[in-house]
Structure 1
Amino acid sequence: MQVIPVLDLLDGQVVRAVRGERSAYRPIQSRLVATSDPLATARALLEASGARTLYIADLGAILQRGAHASTLAALRAALPGIELWLDAGFADYASTRALFERIDAAVDQPDRRAANSSLANLATVVPVFGSETLREIHAVHAAQRAGLAPILSLDHRAGELLAATALDCSSAWWPSRVIAMTLDQVGSYAGPDLATFERLRTQAAAHTALIGAGGIRNRADLAAAAATGASAWLVASALHDRQIDCAPSDSA
C-alpha cells in the first residue's frame, strides 16, 4: 500500500489539519522541517514517505478565501515527475478548468525554461472532486474527457457522507480512483476509519482503486489499512511527527 503525504495550504503556509476543524488549523510544526514554507515542506514530506504523489488541500480555495495559484505553480515547477492531487473545493468543471489555467499562467517563464520549456517536465496536477463541495457530478466526466484523470473524494464526518448536492447512490459514476475521506479522523491520532473504508469497498467496482485518508498513527495502523485492500492512504501528522518512516519503495 502506498503512503501519500498531504500538504494543507492556508494563507500561504502549510498548516496542520485537526479533525477537519479548519478554523483551528495553525502553521505546521514538524520534526521533518523547521518551516511552514510549502515547497520546503513538500520536499520533506516526499523524502520522508518515498512517494511520487503529493495530495494538496488548498484550504484557501475550499474556504473561498482565494486559491494559492502562484504557490501551486511554484510547486509544479519545482517538483518534476511528481503527481499533485489537488483538492481546491471544486464545485463544477468550469471552476476546475479556470484554476488549472491560472496555475499554468503563473508558472514563471524562467522556471518553464529550466524545465526544458515543456509542461510535460513539470509536475502533473490532478483534480480531486470532493463530495463536500461538488455541485455538478458531470464535472467528473468532463474532467475525464479532458484527460485530467480526476479523483473523487467521498467526504465523511461521523460516518455520514457530506454532499453539496444529491449524489447517485451507486458507484456507476465513480472514476477509477476514489478517496474514502473521514474528516474527523484527520490529524486526530484516533486510528483510521476502516469501517467507512470497507463499506465503500463493497460498493466499488472491481477496477476502482480505493484510497483511505485520516487517522494513521503508526506502522500497525498502516498494516491494518493495507489489509482492507486500500491501494494507498493519505498521511500527514504521522509523517511530520516521525511516527512512521517509509523507505522509497515501502509498502505496508
Structure 2
Amino acid sequence: MIDLMGDAVVHARRGARAAYGPIRTPLCAGAAPLDVAAGLMALAPFKHLYVADLDAISGQGGHDQTLAALAAAHPGLALWVDAGEAQAQAVARRAEQGPGRAVVGSETMVDLGSGLSALAAGAVALSLDFGPEGPRGPAAIHHRAELWPESVIVMTLARVGATEGPDFARLADIVARAGGRRVYAAGGVRQADDVERLADMGIAGVLLASALHDGRLSPAEIARFMA
C-alpha cells in the first residue's frame, strides 16, 4: 500500500496525518509515487496496490493523474483507491472512468444512508476505519455485517506504521461476523509470523507498507504467502 500526499508517497504513522513526511525507503531513490511503486513491484509480482489519496480524503485535491500513470506503468496491477469517496456519484464515476476501484471509508461517510448509496454505486471495498478513540463513521456500518459488500478492509489507524502487531481480537470478531465476505487486515504487521496467524484466522489479504520497506518481510517470504 502507498499513501499519497503533496505529490509524494509519505510514511504513514498511527493515523497522525499532519505529521507524515516523504517516505525514505531502500527500494528506490526519493518518494516519487511511480518510483516507490516500481520498487514494490520489484520485490514481488503483486496483483493489487492499495492507494490512500490523503489529499483527496482531506478535501485538498486529488491524485487521479498519478493513479492513471501508475495504472499505465503496471497494466496488470489492480488499484484499490481510497480518495474519500463516500458519495454515490463519486463512486459511480470511478467505477465508470477509473482509475482504480473505489474504497469507501467509514470515516468519510456523512451518514448511513449516503454511505449505503455509495456502497451500492459500484464494485467497491468497504474500509471499516478505527482510530484511537474507536470506530469511525456511522455506528451501524460497523455493527451490521449484512450492510457490508463482499470486500471489507479493517483499517486500524493507530497501528499503521507502528510495528505493534495487528489488532487480532478485532479482526477475529469481524471475520466471525462477515459471513464469508473477504476480510483484509491493515495496520501493524511486523513479520512473517503475523501474516501466517492472519491467514490461519481466515483473513483474505493484508495491506503492507512498513514491513516491505524495511525488509522485515523478505522476497522469499512474500513469494511463499502469494503462492
Q: 2:140 aligned with 1:133, yes or no?
A: no
Mark the CA change 1:97 to 1:56 in structure 2 (over 3 Å): closer, same or farther. same
Per-residue CA distance 1:178-215 (angstroms, 9 max, x = gap): 01110000000111111110111111112x01110110
Q: Which residue of 1 aligns with 2:67?
A: 72
Structure 1, unmatched stretches of 5+, are 1-5, 105-123, 144-148
**Which of 8, 21, 27 is residue 16 of structure 2 equivalent to?**
21
> 1:98: Cα distance to partner?
4.4
Whose RCO is larger (CA < 8 A, sep 6+)? 1
Contact (CA 8 Å) 2:160, 2:186: kept in 1 or not?
Answer: yes
Offset from partner CA, 1:92-118 (integer Å, 9 cap, x none): 1212344667x75xxxxxxxxxxxxxx
- Give RMSD over aligned pairs: 1.9
Contact 2:94 2:102 in 1 (8 A): no
Partners of 1:201 and 1:235 lie apart in 2 by 19
Q: Is the 8 A contact 1:32 1:242 kept in 2?
A: no
Opposite residue 214 of structure 2, the aligned amino acid is D
Shift in Å, 1:49: 4.0
For residues 214 and 223 of structure 2, the distance between their equivalents in structure 1, rounded to whole angstroms, comes to: 20
What is the percent sequence identity of the aligned residues?
Answer: 39
Once the two structures are TM-superposed, the CA of residue 249 in structure 1 deviates from its matched residue by 4.0
- Please tell me whether the aligned partners of residues 102 and 125 of structure 2 are also in contact (alpha carbons under 8 angstroms): yes
Q: Is the 8 A contact 1:58 1:67 kept in 2?
A: yes
Show structure 2 runs of 5+ residues with no match.
none
Give the TM-score normalised by structure 2: 0.90
Alignment of 1:178-217 (within 5 A): 178-206=152-180, 208-217=181-190
CA apart distance, 1:90: 1.1
User: Structure 1-normalised TM-score?
Assistant: 0.82
Deviations 1:135-160 (A, max 9, x none): 322211121xxxxx210010012372
- Residue number in structure 1 paired with 2:206: 233
Kindly report structure 1 stretches of 4+ aligned residues shifted beyond 4 Å. Answer: 98-101
Give the residue type in structure 2 aligned to 1:240. Answer: H
User: How many aligned residue pairs are there?
Assistant: 220
* Equivalent pair of 2:189/2:195 in contact (CA under 8 Å): yes
**3-state SS in 2 of match to 1:27:** coil
Q: CA deviation at 1:246?
A: 3.4
Match for 2:2 among 4, 7, 11?
7
SS at match of 1:251: helix
User: Which residue type is aligned with residue 63 of structure 1?
Assistant: S
- The residue correspondences of 1:161-176 to structure 2 (distance < 5 A) are 161-163=135-137, 165-168=138-141, 169-176=143-150
Amino acid at match of 1:33: C
- Higher helix share goes to which structure? 2
Q: Is the 8 A contact 2:44 2:223 kept in 1?
A: no
One-letter amino acid of the counterpart of residue 13, structure 2:
V
Match among 81, 88, 92 for residue 86 of structure 1? 81
